[in-house]
Structure 1
Amino acid sequence: MRRPSKDPSNRLSAESQRLASLSQAIAQAGSRIEERVLEQQLDTQLQKLLKSGHQDTVDATLNMLFKDDLNGYDTLMEGVEAISESSTMTELVDGVETGWQALLVAAPILAWTRFSIGSGNIPAELLTTLSAHFSAHLLADGTRVAMAPTLYSIDQLPRTHVEAYAITHKLAQAAFKGGGIKPASRPPETAPFLADTRYLLAAVVAPLGAPMFRWQETQHQVDFAGERARALNRWREQATPNVARLLPGCGIELLLPEAYYVACREADKLIRPVSIRAAVHYLTNTLGIEPGDLRAVIAGFGEESADGQIDEYRVGFTLRAESDVIYGIVWPLYGQEDEDGTPVEGLGNIGTAGELDAPRAPIDEIIAHLNEAGVTHVKKHSERFVVEYCDDCGAPYFADPAGDLVHAEMPEDTPQGGEHFH
């Protein structure tokens, strides 16, 4: 469950009230038939709002439902995401009308480096190659695809449902007509991190009701999971060398391309352990020390008015015999993790014997990744800290071993040559 943006207004417009009423009715429906009728009405309302740019109406409704009706909130969030990442169109050929459906797909890339992680425009030749591999190894027969000519950082992705709706329809029309779109003229700057995600965005168009991905085709339905895994392996084998040309000096891992919001959330989770490994690698190589010479200080942070709820853990690194925080990473919590630091619901981790292990709490997962990276001296603060950032540079503050919030600063005698990261 995601939190809505903050909005001080308590008055709902007529459009917001209708969104709320439909969302709550869907959550309370007693049959699939009822749900589908109500969902169609909600979809129609959301289409109008997103097409006309009324993000504020959607946000106001989400804010109200988040406070008053979490089931209704989840229903509306699912609906607005579905509408903003999909579209439909019709084609008339020889008097026969055919319906088409389009889906905005994100192909996440985990990247890590000691220097900088690239983003921006993709050369035309490389875009053609990536599009061909994307279609050949991931998509069902009879589909069409258009890939955006941009390698996106998080800061450059659509920030609102209205923006996602716009790029979905732009790419869908390009895929449907066999064309392309122009790259962004001035993409926003992206903050430098040792580990970060990059994204390829594409619209996949298929006949209405037909499969979009290979693993959805009839011949693969007996081994759905196996075909997904094989498709991912083929995508990685063929696309990784091409993506590496866009990210020189970086280690990379390609994740399974999926519907936009699902793919982005999965990437947000999987970049967290990579950030820990990248931080330890950077510190040990830059300072000429061993991982065992580092100490990690873990503290939970949340909003002041969140009644003790932890929104993220911040991990500050110090030299083992000193107290100054020299580097830090943020481990945000998602989904059921953000209730009170509890693990995500669902299956646990699969152990080496193939048995399910109990799911680990986030802080235990952080410690496990630190230990795997060689950092065995770990300090955990039981106190929950209020989220604070540096007024000058915007970097997050980290707790030192004594529990004081400080700015992470590398030692003054740190060898030069690498880019400075917070």
Structure 2
Amino acid sequence: MSSYRPKNSSRISPESERLVADALSLAASGSRVEDIFWEGRLMERLLRLLHAQNQNAIESALDQTLKINPIAFDCLAENAETLAESLTLEHAGEHWDAVLIAIPIIARTRYSIPSGKLSAESISATGNLLHEQIVAQNARIALVPWLYSIDQMPHSHCQTRLLLEKLASAAVNGGKIKLELRDMPETIPVLADPRYIVGVVAAPSSGPLFRWQEEAPRRQERSICLQNWQHGLKDTIAAIMPGCEFELSLPEAYFTNCREADRKIRPLSILAAVNYLESLLNVAPAGLSCVIAGFGEEQCDEYRISFALKGSKELIYGVIWPLYDRESVANDAINDISIEDSPIREIYDTIKAAGIEDQFRHADLYKPEMCEDCGAPMFVDRAGEIVHAEMPDDTPSQQPLFH
């Protein structure tokens, strides 16, 4: 959805080859005039593929450009996302620019994080605050009356474009949002997870979409808009998500905000896990130990962090720390915490800040495995064995939670 990781595929279609060629040409361009030419051609091809729902061709082209030219990959990825989350449409003889937005709610709890249908009152309060504090004076909005979990969000450029088109039409025409929400996937229960309200902001073409784009006196800096947004929406979200601690981010373009929420939730997942184990097992963080290992087929795509009672080899819980976009870890540096701003260093610092000093980091890359019976991810113990994380038999009854 919000993040791209390469897939191993040796086949490439003619449509993908043309996308790759245009992206390489755009990356090699020597002037803005030439940029406009290649970008126009690239976006024309991408738009045809989006309308044809040919996601495979787009992903194949992304795979190829990532392998051969990172700059071309950035060009292709940026334009694919732009067309998936924004468009221009005509209504009553006037052209409107529309952008799909995500409103992230970064939540953690000891219980469960809600998702699903939102009341008319909640959507009305959110929409009113958007008009007051976030969007431009002439902007129109449409919000989906649903609190999305990550499992329920559009998972491709093509799906995102379809949602954009329906919401943009509703925003500009003032019509009803026609979406089938009854068959949404089940939400996997976890202790820390983002939730999203999704919508569209539309405004007359070439005009401002947001308050920070407007002229004085309505103009407000992003930081002020964020403060007012967090203060104004706090009570509405607290009513929607009882028993949860949460952080509100500024409503922004869909892909940007989804990526930001993905990153923000990773350290919170570790902190929520420590709080959960502390409460459930009546053990202080200093009485826990962690084992950290990198997982992936050929490169590290994620870290899996497992927890045990200090002095015991039995794993009782686990958290996954995925790597996003072009985050990369060399296979010979998987456990190297000396590298500043590296994922393993952030994991190490987060665990230490949670009060756990006993950390063991494996240097090897492990193949990702899931439990054949329950589908839960498998973790690596201190001895290097891939095992199932299971609570002690005398643990109080609980709702199963996975990361």
TM-score class, shorter-chain normalisation, is over 0.9
Q: State the partner residue of 1:48.
A: 48
Q: Using a 3 Å threshold, how does the CA distance of structure 1 residues 207 and 151 change in structure 2: closer, same or farther?
A: same
Is residue 148–residue 180 contact of structure 1 (8 Å, CA) maintained in 2? no
- AA aligned to 2:16 is S
Q: Look up the SS of the partner of 1:338 in the other structure.
A: coil
Q: State the partner residue of 1:28.
A: 28
How far, CA to CA, are the matches of 1:338 and 1:245 in structure 2?
39
How far, CA to CA, are the matches of 2:12 and 2:22 in structure 1?
18
Q: 1:9-408 maps to which residues of 2 (within 5 A)?
A: 10-13=11-14, 15-92=15-92, 97-182=93-178, 184-219=181-216, 227-303=221-297, 306=298, 309-340=299-330, 359-408=340-389
Shift of 1:336: 4.0
Q: Once the two structures are superposed, what CA deviation does each residue of 1:306-353 show, in whole Å capped at 9, x if it has no partner?
A: 2xx32111110000111111001011122442243899xxxxxxxxxx
Match status 1:3 vs 2:5: yes
- AA aligned to 1:378 is Q
Q: Look up the SS of the partner of 1:189 in the other structure.
A: coil
How far, CA to CA, are the matches of 1:3 and 1:218 in structure 2?
40
How far, CA to CA, are the matches of 1:136 and 1:288 in structure 2?
46
Match status 1:420 vs 2:394: no
Is residue 106–residue 201 contact of structure 1 (8 Å, CA) maintained in 2? yes
How far, CA to CA, are the matches of 1:312 and 1:220 in structure 2?
47
Is residue 333–residue 341 contact of structure 1 (8 Å, CA) maintained in 2? no
Q: Using a 3 Å threshold, how does the CA distance of structure 1 residues 104 and 128 change in structure 2: closer, same or farther?
A: same
Is residue 91–residue 172 contact of structure 2 (8 Å, CA) maintained in 1? no
Q: Look up the SS of the partner of 2:154 in the other structure.
A: coil
Is residue 106–residue 200 contact of structure 1 (8 Å, CA) maintained in 2? yes
Q: Once the two structures are superposed, what CA deviation does each residue of 1:196-224 show, in whole Å capped at 9, x if it has no partner?
A: 11111110001112221212223499xx9
Q: State the partner residue of 2:336.
A: none
Is residue 3–residue 66 contact of structure 1 (8 Å, CA) maintained in 2? no
Is residue 146–residue 179 contact of structure 1 (8 Å, CA) maintained in 2? no
Q: Look up the SS of the partner of 1:212 in the other structure.
A: coil
Shift of 1:282: 0.3
Q: Once the two structures are superposed, what CA deviation does each residue of 1:201-255 show, in whole Å capped at 9, x if it has no partner?
A: 110001112221212223499xx9x821111111111112112222222111111
How far, CA to CA, are the matches of 1:17 and 1:289 in structure 2?
57
Q: State the partner residue of 2:392.
A: 411
The unaligned stretches of length 5 or more in structure 1 are 344-357
Shift of 1:174: 0.7
Q: State the partner residue of 1:355.
A: none
How far, CA to CA, are the matches of 1:163 and 1:261 in structure 2?
13
Shift of 1:128: 1.0
Q: Look up the SS of the partner of 1:233 in the other structure.
A: helix
Is residue 99–residue 200 contact of structure 2 (8 Å, CA) maintained in 1? yes
Structure 1 ranges of 4+ moved more than 6 A: none
Shift of 1:52: 2.1
Is residue 342–residue 361 contact of structure 1 (8 Å, CA) maintained in 2? no
Shift of 1:129: 1.0
How far, CA to CA, are the matches of 2:6 and 2:320 in structure 1?
20
- AA aligned to 2:307 is F
Q: Once the two structures are superposed, what CA deviation does each residue of 1:75-99 show, in whole Å capped at 9, x if it has no partner?
A: 111111110101101234xxxx432
How far, CA to CA, are the matches of 1:340 and 1:258 in structure 2?
33
Q: State the partner residue of 1:349.
A: none
- AA aligned to 1:77 is A
Over the matched positions of the two proteins, sequence identity in percent amounts to 41
Is residue 314–residue 331 contact of structure 1 (8 Å, CA) maintained in 2? yes
How far, CA to CA, are the matches of 1:227 and 1:376 in structure 2?
41
- AA aligned to 2:169 is Q
Is residue 12–residue 61 contact of structure 2 (8 Å, CA) maintained in 1? no
Is residue 166–residue 178 contact of structure 2 (8 Å, CA) maintained in 1? no
- AA aligned to 1:236 is Q
Is residue 5–residue 326 contact of structure 2 (8 Å, CA) maintained in 1? no
Shift of 1:17: 2.5
Q: State the partner residue of 1:353.
A: none
Is residue 134–residue 211 contact of structure 2 (8 Å, CA) maintained in 1? yes
Q: What TM-score, normalized to structure 1?
A: 0.88
How far, CA to CA, are the matches of 2:323 and 2:306 in structure 1?
17
The unaligned stretches of length 5 or more in structure 2 are 334-338
Is residue 145–residue 202 contact of structure 1 (8 Å, CA) maintained in 2? yes
Q: Using a 3 Å threshold, how does the CA distance of structure 1 residues 220 and 27 change in structure 2: closer, same or farther?
A: farther
How far, CA to CA, are the matches of 1:402 and 1:61 in structure 2?
41
What is the RMSD computed on CA atoms of the aligned residues?
2.1
How far, CA to CA, are the matches of 1:235 and 1:5 in structure 2?
38
Q: Look up the SS of the partner of 2:327 in the other structure.
A: helix
- AA aligned to 1:4 is P
Across the two proteins, how many residue pairs are aligned to each other? 394
